[in-house]
Amino acid sequence: MRFKSILLLLSAASLAILPSCHKKDEDSESDPFLNGTVSFSIPSFVKVGEQLTVTPKGAVNPTGDVGYYWSSTWNSTRDTVKTESGSGDGTWTMTVPLATGVYTVTVGAFAANYSSISSYKKFTVVDPSLEGSLKGAEYETGSSFVDSRDNGVYYLTTAGDKVWMQNNLYYSGTGVSYQNSVAMDPIVGRFYTWNEALSACPDGWRLPTDKEFAALAGTTGETLSNVAGSLMVNATFNGQKLWTFWPDVKITNSAKFSALPIGYAIDQEGYMKYMGSSQYATFWTSDNSDDSAIYRYLYVAKNDIYLGYGDKESFRASVRCVKDDNNGE
């Protein structure tokens, strides 16, 4: 299974609440089903050992109240948190496993003289610590910077006569988390609009110009040719390789930029659409033209770094900050 399978298929398909299952194994064949569709909300990615509280909704008993039970793939015991006549709303508090991987949570709604209904969600447990879920990113651990605003940790490298952050910015004061999952912030960073990106870097840091990005890659031009592999890194996420092999691209990460293929996001009238995972790495520059701003992007199958134009308010890309001067940390 590739990274695309984990991040695209899981977050898009299996993470949407699945249609209610109508269960007959414990109910009479003549019993009507409860009305509605039982559902609940859970992040696509969750940190190891995190405690989560989930609340069901949508199940309706035409003649009274409903009861709720919960079950999970890491615990074989079914937890009935509310009987039909009991108090409460069926809320369940769970502790996420300490091992990374994909897990499932199921909720069921039941009532006397009715067939129960249920639904389930899958989610991925991640370890955001260094060399946890993300391994082999080649971060320079001996040189780091701590953002005093939210204690975010950034590893540093010097390239093109500039000090760069090696990992994507994940300042929590703005931007959006990958798949709306905060647990992914320190692993892959957050996505920002260009207008957000202009002021997202901490004091003493800023968004790089396109010229500085070209200097990082060691070449010039609208298309930076034959240099993408020098910015890509052969890292893995939960054991799965991120950049898949293509014969035209030799991944060396010689610039120590450690680019990860997490794609980009588009804000469609308040609905966040995440795209390009396992295929693209996108980074804002400070350059702009009219209503669009310039970003640089890498594509998994090509050894070139391309120039793109994104809407300043709806297109969201990753951010790498550079120091205002040439002094390292």
| Cα angle 86-88-91, degrees, rounded to a multiple of 5 | 125
pLDDT in tens, 297-326: 999 999 999 999 999 999 999 999 999 875
pLDDT in tens, 100-117: 999 999 999 999 999 999
**Torsions phi, psi for 30 (to 5 deg):** -90, -10
pLDDT in tens, 249-258: 999 999 999 9
User: How is residue 182 annotated by DSSP?
Assistant: G
Q: Measure the CA–CA gap between 33 and 22, rounded to whole angstroms.
A: 7
Reported as a pLDDT band with limits 50, 70 and 90, residue 264 is: very high
Q: How many CA atoms lie within 13 A of 12 on its CB side?
A: 12
pLDDT in tens, 271-291: 999 999 999 999 999 999 888
Q: Is-contact 225 219, C-beta < 8 A?
A: yes
As given in the structure block, the two tokens for residue 308 are: 């793109």
Q: Nearest-CA neighbor of 88 among 66, 110, 114, 112?
A: 66
pLDDT at 138: 98
Rg (CA), the chain: 23
Q: Measure the CA–CA gap between 236 and 135, rounded to whole angstroms.
A: 5
Q: Measure the CA–CA gap between 131 and 144, rounded to whole angstroms.
A: 15
Say whether pLDDT at 5 is over 90: no
**Which region among 11-20, 217-226, 258-267 has the lowest average model confidence (pLDDT)?**
11-20
Say whether pLDDT at 143 is over 90: yes
Superfamily of segment(s) 3-126: Immunoglobulins (2.60.40.10)
Return mean pLDDT, the chain: 91
Say whether pLDDT at 223 is over 90: yes
Q: Measure the CA–CA gap between 253 and 190, rounded to whole angstroms.
A: 22
pLDDT at 30: 79
Say whether pLDDT at 12 is over 80: no
Secondary structure, 3-state, 200-246: CCCCCEECCCHHHHHHHHCCCCCCECCCHHHCECCCEECCEECCCCC
Domain locations along the chain: 3-126, 134-323
Instruction: Give SS3 for 64.
Output: strand
Mean pLDDT across 228-250: 97
Mean pLDDT across 129-137: 98
Q: Measure the CA–CA gap between 163 and 165, rounded to whole angstroms.
A: 7
This prediction has a pTM of 0.89
As given in the structure block, the two tokens for residue 296 are: 């640089």
Q: Nearest-CA neighbor of 176 among 4, 44, 324, 8?
A: 44
How far is it between the farthest Cα atoms of the chain?
77
pLDDT at 161: 87
Reported as a pLDDT band with limits 50, 70 and 90, residue 270 is: confident
Q: Measure the CA–CA gap between 127 and 299, rounded to whole angstroms.
A: 26
Q: Is-contact 283 301, C-beta < 8 A?
A: no
Q: Scan for tokens 């770094």, then name that residue.
A: 305
Query: C-alpha 283: how far from its chain's center?
Result: 16
Percent of the chain beyond pLDDT 90?
86
Q: Measure the CA–CA gap between 177 and 166, rounded to whole angstroms.
A: 18
Helix (H) or strand (E) holding 197: helix 194-197
Cβ neighbours around 42 below 10 Å, total: 17
User: How is residue 249 annotated by DSSP?
Assistant: -
pLDDT at 19: 45
